[in-house]
């Protein structure tokens, strides 16, 4: 019995691990294709209002209209087309905002963890102050200050969430800086900044990649939250967040306006986090 | 030594709070839009504008304004709300109980669900049940409170409408509250209809806040329990005939709970941070809901007061967790 379990465990594990990578990748690729080819796929103009066709239910209910698979919202706009066009903003925000957040946070984390001293004191203090803000309130406040729009949303996410990277990367850099290979690079005459970039960075990269994936999911959520309090983008762009806000308001008349973007958000957030976990396990030499 | 740790931690806490005060003060003041102009009817005279500007101190320099504000805060005076025309301290304190009740209720739910899942997982370690606990907690953990809230609105507010999706209490209930702790006061004064209504209004928002934390507790506590359960001292009770569940609850839990406790403390501040949007989603009359209104209305003193209160709450919780960890862990007591 013991032998059997010893043999099967690794195989089951690697199979599950692959599934963990491929399922999320498939969903995100679908989103990417939907974003790229939205005008070709979407059956209707996402902004076109048809007041004769308002609040049509989705295909599995009675009283539907052919061609409106997921129904229409309170202004008669096609829900499916809006979900498809919404992938554009969702992916755009997740890619740009998460990358910006990652760059800011990882840089500060590496500097604090490796150079220590004043670098560490100042950056750690900043992290502590930042962590004392409720993040959603911080985001709402920042966007109110900068004015609504895609750029504000992205800048706000980077300005708030850099601590997530900085904390983890700082701690990991501190551990790596104690290792022998760092000393030998120093003895070999490498400059400290060179050591940081060429020796330590590759070793903390798996964590950075995992956090980056996680942050992509979070960025989509933050955009949705800001849309929900009416602070994200103007209403002439279809976003999942604005659909959710409308769906919440019209919940007793047209709940499907909330349901479908919510499903898209669930799958996207879940995909990014599973992808992050899966990639981390794949890159981590200790876990292999 | 312990006293010195306490003092130095208190000092860094004050520095952090001062930093928060500076950041929020600068932020709200670079915001476009003149709050005074929003208060006055169109066509107000220059004189009126100047008078009102002076009343709120907006005619002074930024540095002066900051120190006037901080000077007041130290004495418990947080200024006057621009839109609601009441002292910020009173407004904020009237809303704080709602947020506290919600947060602690959520914490209770998280500990209950997470604890039970961890015990089940540790009890059946190596079996498909444990794999199921792992898989579920992993998935639940990655979905944030906002999405859970929306899902519950759909499920229990619309498709199977058993719970109210907005407010804090059934408005038809008549009851003179002495405090704003609606649920607790209802319980203590024996008005179970009031308490019941309060808890049923809190259930969905609290569950939304609790689920990610519950998943985290399940993962960490299960891991800690498993580590403790291979230690020698858990063999004796097994030999004496106690069941595995009894061994977990009586012997293993005591040592596995401490590291989990530290994590729960830190995560609790994240949970409280989540109340801002969850309260908005469920139209729950707490601090967070008020904060978003304050930002939308450019009510600078109110924003500053609420942010500062949240920050104070967060650093206080972190401080308590740190200190209790030092007290509870004998290895750190003489550090």
Are residues B69 and B195 located together in one domain of the fold? no
What ipTM was predicted for this assembly? 0.88
Are residues B194 and B294 located together in one domain of the fold? yes
Are residues B107 and B47 located together in one domain of the fold? no
- What is the rounded distance in angstroms from the CA atom of residue A76 to the CA atom of residue B186? 45
Are residues B81 and B181 located together in one domain of the fold? no
Q: Does A267 touch chain B (CB under 8 A)?
A: no
Are residues B114 and B81 located together in one domain of the fold? no
Interface of A with B in 174-213 (CB under 8 A): none
Residue A79, CB-side half-sphere exposure with 13 Å CA sphere:
31
- Cross-chain residue pair A251–B153, CB shorter than 8 Å: yes
What is the pTM for the complete model shown? 0.89
Contact indicator for A219, A213 with CB cutoff of 8 Å: no
Contact indicator for A205, A196 with CB cutoff of 8 Å: no
Top pLDDT among A188 and B183 is at B183
Residue range B162-177, pLDDT digits in tens = 888 888 888 888 777 8
Say if residue B35's pLDDT is above 70: no
Are residues B286 and B231 located together in one domain of the fold? yes
Q: Report the percent of chain B where pLDDT is more than 90.
A: 40
If you ran DSSP here, which 8-state letter would residue A57 be given? Answer: P
Distance from CA of B7 to the nearest CA of A (A): 17
Q: Mean pLDDT over all residues of chain A?
A: 85
What's the pLDDT at B38?
A: 63
Chain A hits for B138, Cβ within 8 Å = 274, 277
Q: Does A218 touch chain B (CB under 8 A)?
A: yes
Residue range B40-70, pLDDT digits in tens = 666 777 787 787 777 777 778 888 888 888 8
- Which residue in chain A has the smallest CA separation from B139? A270
Are residues B62 and B132 located together in one domain of the fold? no
Q: Does A75 touch chain B (CB under 8 A)?
A: no
Contact indicator for B142, A217 with CB cutoff of 8 Å: yes
- Number of A–B residue contacts, CB under 8 Å: 128
Are residues B203 and B59 located together in one domain of the fold? no
A255: tokens are 């709940």
Domain end residue (candidates: B34, B58, B88)? B88
Residue range A102-139, pLDDT digits in tens = 999 999 999 999 998 999 999 999 999 999 999 999 99
For tokens 């933050």, what's the residue? Answer: A222
For tokens 């030499």, what's the residue? Answer: A285
Nearest residue to A173 (alpha-carbon basis) of A142, A155, A197, A143: A197
Residue range A33-68, pLDDT digits in tens = 999 998 888 888 888 888 777 777 887 777 777 777
What's the pLDDT at A144?
A: 86
Domain end residue (candidates: B42, B70, B88)? B88
Where residue A210 falls (left for φ over 0; alpha for ψ -120 to 50; beta otherwise) is alpha
Residue range A271-288, pLDDT digits in tens = 999 898 888 777 765 655
Domain boundaries of chain A, sorted by first residue: 30-283
What's the pLDDT at B65?
A: 87
Chain B hits for A142, Cβ within 8 Å = 27
- Cross-chain residue pair B310–A217, CB shorter than 8 Å: no
The contacts found for A49-56 with CB under 8 angstroms, 24 or more apart, are A49/A75, A49/A76, A49/A77, A50/A76, A50/A77, A51/A75, A51/A76, A52/A76, A55/A250, A55/A253, A55/A254
Domain end residue (candidates: B21, B53, B88)? B88
A237: tokens are 């762009």
What's the pLDDT at B219?
A: 93
Are residues B178 and B324 located together in one domain of the fold? yes
Are residues B17 and B166 located together in one domain of the fold? no
- Which residue in chain B has the smallest CA separation from A245? B281
Residue range B186-200, pLDDT digits in tens = 888 888 888 889 999
Per the structure, how many domains does chain B have?
A: 2
For residue B192, give its domain range: 94-332
Say if residue A14's pLDDT is above 60: no
- Cross-chain residue pair B147–A140, CB shorter than 8 Å: no
Q: Mean pLDDT over all residues of chain B?
A: 86
Tell me the CATH number at B297.
1.10.3720.10
What's the pLDDT at A285?
A: 58
Q: Which CATH number among 1.10.10.10, 3.40.190.10, 1.10.3720.10, 1.10.1740.10 corresponds to the domain A30-283? A: 1.10.3720.10
CB-nearest to B31 from A135, A145, A255 is A145
**How many CB atoms are located within 10 Å of the residue B37 CB?**
13
Chain B hits for A134, Cβ within 8 Å = 272-273, 275-276, 288, 291, 307, 310, 314
Say if residue A216's pLDDT is above 80: yes
Residue range B75-109, pLDDT digits in tens = 888 888 888 889 999 999 999 999 999 999 999 99
What's the pLDDT at A5?
A: 38
Are residues B103 and B63 located together in one domain of the fold? no
B49: tokens are 């504008």
Contact indicator for B197, B169 with CB cutoff of 8 Å: yes
- What is the rounded distance in angstroms from the CA atom of residue B334 to the CA atom of residue A246? 57
A163-177, A229-243, B24-38, B218-232 — most confident range: A163-177
């Amino acid at each position: 019995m013991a032998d059997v379990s010893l043999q099967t465990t690794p195989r089951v594990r690697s199979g599950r691990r692959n599934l963990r990578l491929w399922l999320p990748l498939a969903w995100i690729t679908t989103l990417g294709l939907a974003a790229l080819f939205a005008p070709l796929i979407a059956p209707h103009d996402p902004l076109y209002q048809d007041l004769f066709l308002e609040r049509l239910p989705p295909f599995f209910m009675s009283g539907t209209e052919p061609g409106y698979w997921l129904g229409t919202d309170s202004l008669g706009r096609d829900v499916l087309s809006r979900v498809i066009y919404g992938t554009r903003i969702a992916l755009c925000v997740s890619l740009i905002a998460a990358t910006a957040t990652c760059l800011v946070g990882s840089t500060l984390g590496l500097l604090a963890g490796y150079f220590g001293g004043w670098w560490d004191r100042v950056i750690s203090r900043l992290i502590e102050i930042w962590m004392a803000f409720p993040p959603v309130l911080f985001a709402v406040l920042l966007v109110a200050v900068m004015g609504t729009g895609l750029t504000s949303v992205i800048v706000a996410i980077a300005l708030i969430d850099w601590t997530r990277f900085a904390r983890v990367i700082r701690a990991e850099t501190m551990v790596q800086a104690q290792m022998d290979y760092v000393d030998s690079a120093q003895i070999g005459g490498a400059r400290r900044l060179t050591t940081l970039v060429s020796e330590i960075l590759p070793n903390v990269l798996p964590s950075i990649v995992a956090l980056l994936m996680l942050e992509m999911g979070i960025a989509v959520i933050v955009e949705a939250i800001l849309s929900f309090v009416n602070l994200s983008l103007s209403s002439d762009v279809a976003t999942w967040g604005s659909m959710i806000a409308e769906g919440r308001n019209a919940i007793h008349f047209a709940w499907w306006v909330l349901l479908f973007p919510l499903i898209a958000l669930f799958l996207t957030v879940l995909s990014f986090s599973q992808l992050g976990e899966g990639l981390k396990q794949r890159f981590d030499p200790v876990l292999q | 030594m312990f006293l010195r740790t306490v003092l130095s931690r208190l000092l860094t806490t004050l520095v952090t709070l001062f930093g928060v005060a500076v950041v929020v003060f600068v932020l709200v003041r670079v915001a476009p839009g003149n709050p005074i102009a929003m208060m006055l009817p169109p066509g107000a005279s220059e004189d009126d504008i100047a008078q009102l500007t002076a009343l709120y101190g907006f005619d002074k320099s930024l540095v002066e304004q900051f120190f006037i504000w901080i000077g007041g805060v130290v004495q418990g005076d947080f200024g006057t709300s621009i839109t609601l025309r009441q002292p910020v301290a009173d407004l904020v304190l009237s809303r704080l109980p709602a947020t506290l009740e919600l947060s602690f209720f959520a914490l209770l739910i998280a500990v209950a669900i997470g604890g039970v899942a961890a015990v089940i997982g540790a009890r059946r370690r190596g079996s498909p049940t444990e794999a199921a606990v792992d898989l579920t907690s992993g998935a639940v953990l990655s979905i944030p409170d906002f999405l859970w809230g929306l899902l519950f609105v759909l499920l229990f507010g619309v498709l199977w409408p058993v719970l109210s999706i907005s407010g804090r209490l059934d408005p038809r209930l008549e009851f003179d509250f002495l405090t704003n702790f609606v649920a607790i006061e209802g319980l203590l004064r024996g008005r179970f209809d009031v308490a019941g209504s309060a808890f049923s209004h809190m259930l969905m928002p609290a569950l939304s806040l609790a689920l990610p934390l519950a998943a985290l507790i399940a993962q960490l506590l299960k891991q800690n329990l498993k580590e403790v359960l291979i230690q020698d001292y858990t063999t004796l009770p097994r030999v004496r005939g106690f069941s595995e569940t009894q061994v977990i609850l009586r012997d293993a839990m005591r040592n596995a709970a401490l590291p989990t406790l530290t994590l729960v403390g830190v995560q609790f501040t994240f949970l409280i941070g989540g109340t801002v949007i969850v309260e908005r989603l469920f139209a729950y009359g707490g601090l967070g809901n008020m904060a978003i209104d304050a930002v939308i209305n450019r009510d600078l003193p109110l924003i500053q007061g609420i942010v500062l209160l949240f920050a104070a709450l967060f650093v206080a919780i972190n401080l308590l967790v740190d200190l209790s960890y030092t007290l509870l862990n004998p290895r750190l007591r003489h550090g």
